Amino acid sequence: MSMLINANNVKYSHLDNSSFSMTIKKFNLNKGDRLLIHGESGLGKSTFLNLISGAVQAKEGKIEILGSDISTMSSHNKDKFRGSHFGVVFQTFNLLPYLSVEKNILMGLVFSKRKKNKVSNINSEIKHLMKSLSLDYEEFKNRKSFELSIGQQQRVAVARALIGKPEIILADEPTSALDINNQEIFLNLLFASLNQKEQGLIMVSHSKNISKNFTDIKNITDICELNNV
């Protein structure tokens, strides 16, 4: 199966803000896709990621992930499913400040037996991910995340998202705190770390100036009908 995400006629609106609504008539993501979604802040890019991953509930429509309809799952089952098949890089990284780099990366396996079972040697996998992201294992493995630079924290967050080989990687404004040169360095490291045939990536950004290496670039308004008046 090459299709990772298939969403049709999905409708969503904030419970506490009836002036915002989002409709996704049709959206697909396939293995190997590298999609950049850009648009101004406040348009709903993060909401889109939360919607297609099942973190928020659609009012109508169907969202299939790897052939499974998450629209009909209970909240508990959606959480388990998302933990097994998604890796997420948050804008603020969400690292635990007093845990070591190694333990922060391991947090990517905590909620998924499936991911754990896909890693035959956890130590080797962590070393591989850190090397691919230009983090020396011996130098950084025991450092607390609060001791790291922003760029180093970002790479640890990517390693946590990639461990266990999730099929879908979501990245929410991961380059917003970096200058142009470091944005390019980070993106090159991220793309080099992905399995080019098996994993799909969706990155959202307020800018389309980071479009190099993406297979597709869309404005959020190309994907969703939005009402945020």
Residue 22 scores a pLDDT above 80 = yes
Print burial letters for 173-209: b (CB count within 10 Å at least 16), e (below 16). Answer: bbbeebeeeebeebbebbeebbeeeebbbbbbbeeee
* Residue 159 to residue 127: CA distance in whole angstroms: 10
Token readout for 217 is 């670039």
Print burial letters for 15-42: b (CB count within 10 Å at least 16), e (below 16). Answer: eeeeebbbbbeebebebbbbbbbbbeee
Q: Tokens 């905590």 correspond to what residue?
A: 110
pLDDT digits (tens, 9 = 90+) for 182-224: 888 888 888 988 988 899 999 999 888 888 889 999 999 999 9
Residue 9: which H helix or E strand, with range?
strand 3-14
Mean pLDDT, the chain, integer: 91
* Residue 23 to residue 205: CA distance in whole angstroms: 20
Is residue 111 helix, strand or coil?
A: coil
> What is the pLDDT, as a whole number, of residue 16?
61
pLDDT digits (tens, 9 = 90+) for 73-102: 999 999 999 999 999 998 888 999 999 999
Residue 81 identity? F
What value does the CA radius of gyration of the chain take, rounded to a whole number of Å? Answer: 17
Q: Which domains does the chain have, with CATH numbers?
A: 31-55+74-217 (3.40.50.300)
pLDDT-derived band at 42 (thresholds 50, 70, 90) equals confident
pTM beyond cutoff 0.75 = yes
Helix, strand, coil content of the chain in percent (nearest 5): 40, 30, 35
pLDDT digits (tens, 9 = 90+) for 50-71: 999 999 999 999 999 999 999 8
> What is the pLDDT, as a whole number, of residue 179?
80
pLDDT digits (tens, 9 = 90+) for 112-150: 999 999 999 999 999 999 999 989 999 999 999 999 998
